[in-house]
């Protein structure tokens, strides 16, 4: 079965994306950072609808945590078919009033998170695709 990782899938847009993918026959890995109760609700909704899913807890902004969880998951479940990088955060403040710590948090989550998640996954995904040269 084609498996897709959705980061930030415990609620909101990520949950909606995960549910839509499950309805379309994908198996899901539901990423969450700290809202396990919300992630478990997403998991239950997918399973109640007949889909398959599992939870993967890690902070996309933490490179070591991403690598640790994802590199342990690959041998257990194989490469992902796709990844939806949905996790993100924002800081509501006018730019001149935006604290450096808030700026860093937004960039670590929204920008570094993309790199942190895809880096350990992209080559296993590429290797799992059928070759363009094969019939």
How is 20-87 classified by DSSP, letter by letter? HHHHTT-EEEEEESS-HHHHHHHHHHHHHTT--EEEEE--TT-HHHHHHHHHHHHHHH---SEEE---
> Would residue 93 count as lying in a domain?
yes
Compute CA distances 113 → 22, 33, 85, 106, whole Å. Answer: 23, 12, 8, 10
The per-residue pLDDT for range 36-88, each reduced to its tens digit, is: 989 999 999 999 989 999 999 999 999 999 999 999 999 999 999 999 999 98
Range of the domain at 84: 3-128
Within a domain: 35: yes
Beta-bridge mates of residue 54: 29
Q: Is residue 135 part of a domain?
A: no
On whether residue 133 sits in a domain, the answer given is no
What's the token pair of residue 33? 């950072």
pLDDT (0 to 100) of residue 18: 94
In a domain, 108, yes or no: yes
d(CA 66, CA 56): 10
CA distance 118 to 16: 21
- Tell me whether residue 28 is in a domain: yes
Domain presence at residue 97: yes
State residue 95's pLDDT score: 87
Mean pLDDT estimate for the chain: 92
121 in a structural domain? yes
- Burial classification of residue 25, based on how many CB atoms lie within 10 Å of its CB (0-12 exposed, 13-18 middle, 19 or more buried): exposed
Q: Which residue has the tokens 């992630």?
A: 39
Task: Provide the number of structural domains found in the chain.
Answer: 1
| Confidence tier at 132 by pLDDT (50, 70, 90) | low
Question: Residue 57: which CATH number?
Answer: 3.40.50.720
């Amino acid at each position: 079965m084609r498996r897709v990782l959705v980061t930030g899938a415990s609620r909101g847009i990520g949950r909606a994306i995960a549910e839509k993918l499950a309805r379309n026959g994908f198996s899901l890995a539901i990423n969450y950072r700290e809202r396990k109760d919300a992630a478990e609700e997403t998991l239950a909704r997918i399973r109640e609808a007949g889909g398959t899913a599992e939870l993967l807890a890690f902070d996309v902004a933490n490179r070591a945590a991403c690598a640790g969880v994802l590199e342990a998951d690959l041998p257990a479940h194989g490469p992902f078919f796709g990844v939806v990088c949905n996790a993100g955060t924002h800081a509501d403040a006018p730019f001149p009033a935006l604290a450096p710590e808030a700026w860093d948090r937004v960039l670590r989550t929204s920008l570094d998170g993309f790199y942190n998640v895809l880096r350990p996954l992209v080559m296993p995904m590429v290797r799992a695709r059928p070759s363009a040269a094969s019939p």
